[in-house]
Amino acid sequence: MATATSPITGAGLKPAGMKWPEQIKYVQELAESGVKLLPPQYIKFEQGQALHEPTVVAPPQKLPPVIDMFDINGASGTAEKKAMLEMLGSACRQWGIFQVVNHGIPPALLDEVKRVSREFFDLPMEEKLKYANNPVTYEGYGNRTGVQEGSTLDWNDYFYHFIRPFSAINGQKSWPHQPEEYRTVISEYGEKVVELCEALLSIFSEDLGLEKKDTLLESLGGDEELGAGYRVNFYPKCPQPELALGLSPHTDPGAMTVLLQDQVSGLQLKKDGVWIPIPSRQDALTVLLADQLEILSNGIYKSVNHRSTVNSKKERMSIAIFIHPEGNKMIGPLEEVVKKSGRSPLYNEMTFNEYRIFIRTLGLKGQAILSSRVINT
């Protein structure tokens, strides 16, 4: 640690400077150079430690549910709709993650999203470096999360940029210029994902017993100011995958995340002390609930602790859209939820901008960062 700050409370943290503490090495380059041994900076586990904590492959009935939006929309009948809504509500309470099918986003568009996103990583390094990111906004091409010097690193490179709110972003300045269709494809996909999330937020509001369906959306800034970021995670083949992680354990800081995966699985979630791999389903999008929804719901909904693994045979790509509050919005437990449940507020209030500085300085820390918001009574 570079400061005497508590790693968990982050008290006294300043926004990070413009530079990463060490020179960035891109994982893709390392992988392509044919390294046979994992460089020490990426070693997370000792040999034989089997990814540190037990991993349990669960049968389908013990996995987070698959939510059919066709049923949710009432197209199969009212009984089916009711059953599906119950399943969704309990997924938010028990898992903090579910998959959605019949989500209304055409498979051809999803294929295009994957294609244009993947093509960025095929550009010559010289071209990619024009987009190199920094710890202030994270926008652009990079490969670390958190700015502490000497941290062990994750086996991935990524590309990140905002897609919303338009009032807060630099237009599409930091978006890749190649391939040519990138902007149209990603704008269209982004809007469709936001639409899906707004529909889900309205269902969540009802499920939490809130009087107005738009309460959660409004608490995050409303349709105009709701934020969204776009991140492509690229996990090259890893020479010793059992010693590394693609992404260290974390909860997502925003409100919710929609993850689009390619054919290669790697996402795992932690439940009851074990890691459970989530199979990659090509017809499904994975929805992860994140910190701000746990906070707004005063802990009724769970922000899911997750990580991703890597493998030696196949590279993997995942695409995350992070839905988050407008940066200056103060977020704390909703009064209506607190009153209804009879429990006092469990989390302190903070704007998303303040919370973001925390996370960007500290990196991925399992549930510790969210726990730092819990009010000790």
Interaction of residue 364 with ligand OGA, rule CB under 6 A? no
Amino acid at 76: S
Strand partners, 147: none
Q: Which of residues 192-231 bind ligand OGA (CB under 6 A)?
A: 231
In this structure, what token pair is assigned to residue 23? Answer: 């020179």
| Given 38, 105, 320, 362, the residue binding ligand OGA (CB under 6 A) | 320
Identity of the residue, 225 or 252, whose beta carbon is nearer to Ni ion in the bound complex:
252
Pairing assessment for the beta strands 274-277 and 267-271 based on DSSP bridges: antiparallel
Interaction of residue 225 with Ni ion, rule CB under 5 A? no
Q: With contact defined as beta carbons under 8 Å apart, do 307 and 154 qualify?
A: no
Identity of the residue, 246 or 333, whose beta carbon is nearer to ligand OGA in the bound complex:
246
Identity of the residue, 112 or 291, whose beta carbon is nearer to Ni ion in the bound complex:
291
215's CB contacts (< 8 A; 6+ apart) are: 205, 334, 336
- The CB-nearest residue to Ni ion is 252
| Given 92, 216, 247, 260, the residue binding ligand OGA (CB under 6 A) | 247
Identity of the residue, 259 or 337, whose beta carbon is nearer to ligand OGA in the bound complex:
259
Interaction of residue 144 with ligand OGA, rule CB under 6 A? no
3-state secondary structure of 192: helix
In this structure, what token pair is assigned to residue 360? Answer: 């960007």
| Contact stretch for Ni ion (CB under 5 A) within 27-35, 178-186, 244-252, 348-356 | 244-252
Interaction of residue 233 with ligand OGA, rule CB under 6 A? yes
| Contact stretch for Ni ion (CB under 5 A) within 10-18, 194-202, 251-259, 334-342 | 251-259
Identity of the residue, 208 or 370, whose beta carbon is nearer to ligand OGA in the bound complex:
370
Crossing angle for the helix pair 107-122 and 182-207, nearest 10 degrees?
A: 130
Q: For 63-76, b where at least 16 C-beta lie within 10 A, e where not — what string?
A: bbbbbbbbbbeeee
Interaction of residue 308 with ligand OGA, rule CB under 6 A? yes
Q: Which does 318 bind (CB under 5 to 8 A by kind): ligand OGA, Ni ion, none?
A: ligand OGA
Interaction of residue 252 with Ni ion, rule CB under 5 A? yes
CB of 257 to Ni ion, least distance (A): 6
| Contact stretch for ligand OGA (CB under 6 A) within 83-91, 201-209, 259-267, 294-302 | 259-267
* Residue 344 main-chain phi, psi, to 5 deg: -75, 165
In this structure, what token pair is assigned to residue 313? Answer: 């045979």
Binding mask 87-126 for ligand OGA (x = CB under 6 A): ----------------------------------------
CB of 224 to ligand OGA, least distance (A): 25
Question: Could you give the CA distance from residue 101 to residue 205 in angstroms, rounded to a whole number?
Answer: 21
Interaction of residue 291 with Ni ion, rule CB under 5 A? no
For the chain, state the CA radius of gyration: 20
Q: Which of residues 105-134 bind Ni ion (CB under 5 A)?
A: none
Identity of the residue, 105 or 247, whose beta carbon is nearer to ligand OGA in the bound complex:
247
Identity of the residue, 69 or 247, whose beta carbon is nearer to ligand OGA in the bound complex:
247
Interaction of residue 314 with ligand OGA, rule CB under 6 A? no
Q: Which of residues 266-295 bind ligand OGA (CB under 6 A)?
A: 266-267
Helices (H), the chain: 27-32, 69-72, 78-94, 107-122, 125-128, 182-207, 215-219, 222-225, 291-296, 335-341, 352-362, 368-371
| Given 28, 240, 318, 372, the residue binding ligand OGA (CB under 6 A) | 318
Q: With contact defined as beta carbons under 8 Å apart, do 64 and 95 qualify?
A: yes
Question: Could you give the CA distance from residue 156 to residue 31 in angstroms, rounded to a whole number?
Answer: 10
| Contact stretch for Ni ion (CB under 5 A) within 113-121, 127-135, 250-258, 349-357 | 250-258
What is 20-74 written as a DSSP string? -SS----HHHHHHTT-SS--GGG--S-TTSSSSS-B----GGGSPPEEEHHHHTT
Query: Which residues of this chain interact with ligand OGA, rule CB under 6 A?
Result: 231, 233, 247, 252, 259, 266-267, 306, 308, 318, 320
